[in-house]
């Protein structure tokens, strides 16, 4: 599907917006420009405005996998947080959801219908758009397992419906990462026919498992590093005695060593330095390069 824009409303774009409330780490400087369109018309108008500027574009979901520089982000930060709608199709077992919908809420609504397929997604504090781009996953399942298609729009107004093959999925990555195509909607194939109790029980158990093993009481981005197969990044870090290690108010979680927590007033720079310290230690001891899963954006000091 390819259509053109037909702008009919004014964009709502704000200058100098602090991004720290828009990230789960609660750190980061200001966006030079920030827009969070509430509907298709506002999105079209925002892209029209953007096309006339000569500035970079950064796409933002719930900010739960981002480390944004204390110096902020140059250009336009475009958030999907207010793009929300969903439709459960009883005839096909498919659910079509707007990009800004929290993936957790879709998982619980599916569970309450007795539809299986998203039980893994509880506890992931991101949006549907972020899950599609990151190929978010847990409990040996991931977004790619049930995604049928994703609708994306480019700044020039080109709309495409992409299949999982076109998204080129693999572990926590997709063809959309680092690009300018905005996910606006996604369709998942679920399996109806279970009881509400069956699916909500599994979903609740998954949530408890996470809460037992992961810290949810302080700001974080979830797992900081990708697991360097066949090892778990958290295990490698824990073996080096780094649990509790701090740079400023950034701390390696005592509960799960692949989590870095903001224990109060951490700066993005503190978290960045801690990431670097962990990488150095792991490289020296295990001869393995830990690759960040968190997206590091903006300017940081050279280490």
The phi, psi pair for 139, rounded to 5°, reads 50, 40
Separation of alpha carbons 185 and 183, rounded Å: 6
**126 lines the binding site for ligand FAD (CB under 6 A):** yes
Q: Whole-number minimum distance, CB 137 to ligand FAD, in Å? A: 5
| Binding piece for ligand FAD, criterion CB under 6 A, among 36-44, 67-75, 133-141, 279-287 | 133-141
Instruction: Provide the strand spans (E) within the chain.
Output: 13-18, 30-35, 57-60, 66-68, 73-79, 86-89, 94-98, 137-138, 141-142, 147-153, 159-162, 182-189, 246-247, 250-252, 260-262, 295-297
Looking at 11, 29, 37, 63, which residue binds ligand FAD (CB under 6 A)?
Answer: 63
* Both tokens assigned to 157: 């107004």
Looking at 65, 69, 149, 203, which residue binds ligand FAD (CB under 6 A)?
Answer: 65
- Whether residue 223 lies in the annotated active site: yes
Which residue, 66 or 275, is less far from ligand FAD as judged by CB? Answer: 66
Count of positions on this chain that bind ligand FAD (CB under 6 A): 33
**220 lines the binding site for ligand FAD (CB under 6 A):** yes
Looking at 48, 96, 295, 299, which residue binds ligand FAD (CB under 6 A)?
Answer: 295
Separation of alpha carbons 274 and 260, rounded Å: 8
Which residue, 61 or 192, is less far from ligand FAD as judged by CB? Answer: 61
Looking at 19, 68, 131, 252, which residue binds ligand FAD (CB under 6 A)?
Answer: 131
Catalytic site residue from 172, 220, 251, 253: 172
- Whether residue 119 lies in the annotated active site: no
Secondary structure (3-state) at 9: coil
Q: Whole-number minimum distance, CB 5 to ligand FAD, in Å? A: 17
Q: State the binding string over 139-178 for ligand FAD (x if CB under 6 A, else -).
A: ---------------------------------x---xx-
Nearest to 255 by CA among 212, 219, 222: 212
* Both tokens assigned to 72: 């902020």
Looking at 9, 24, 39, 141, which residue binds ligand FAD (CB under 6 A)?
Answer: 24
Separation of alpha carbons 302 and 94, rounded Å: 47
- Where does residue 71 rank: exposed (0-12), middle (13-18), buried (19+ CB within 10 A)? middle
Please report, as ranges, the residues that interact with ligand FAD according to CB under 6 A.
24, 59-66, 80, 99, 124-127, 129-131, 133-134, 136-138, 172, 176-177, 182-183, 216, 220-222, 295
């Amino acid at each position: 599907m390819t259509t053109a824009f037909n702008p009919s409303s004014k964009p709502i774009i704000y200058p100098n917006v602090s991004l720290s409330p828009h990230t789960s780490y609660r750190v980061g400087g200001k966006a030079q420009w920030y827009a969070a369109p509430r509907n298709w018309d506002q999105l079209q108008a925002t892209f029209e405005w953007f096309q006339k500027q000569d500035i970079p574009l950064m796409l933002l979901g719930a900010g739960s996998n981002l480390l944004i520089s204390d110096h902020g982000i140059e250009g336009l930060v475009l958030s999907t947080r207010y793009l929300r709608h969903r439709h459960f199709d009883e005839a096909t077992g498919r659910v079509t959801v707007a990009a800004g919908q929290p993936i957790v809420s879709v998982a619980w609504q599916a569970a309450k219908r007795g539809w299986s397929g998203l039980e893994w997604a509880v506890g992931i504090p991101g949006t549907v758009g972020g899950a599609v781009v990151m190929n978010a996953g847990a409990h040996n399942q991931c977004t790619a397992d049930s995604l049928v298609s994703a609708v994306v729009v480019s700044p020039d107004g080109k709309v495409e419906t992409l299949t999982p093959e076109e998204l080129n999925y693999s572990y926590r990555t997709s063809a959309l990462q680092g690009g300018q195509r905005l996910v606006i909607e996604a369709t998942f194939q679920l399996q109806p026919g279970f009881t509400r109790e069956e699916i909500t029980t599994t979903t609740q158990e998954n949530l408890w498992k996470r809460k037992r093993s992961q810290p949810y009481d302080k700001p974080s981005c979830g797992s900081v590093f990708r697991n360097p197969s066949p090892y778990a990044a958290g295990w490698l870090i824990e073996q080096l005695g780094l649990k509790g290690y701090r740079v400023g108010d950034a701390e390696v979680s005592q509960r799960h060593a692949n989590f870095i927590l903001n224990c109060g007033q951490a700066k993005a720079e503190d978290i960045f330095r801690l990431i670097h310290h962990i990488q150095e230690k792991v490289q020296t001891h295990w001869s393995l390069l830990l690759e960040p899963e968190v997206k590091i954006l903006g300017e940081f000091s050279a280490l």
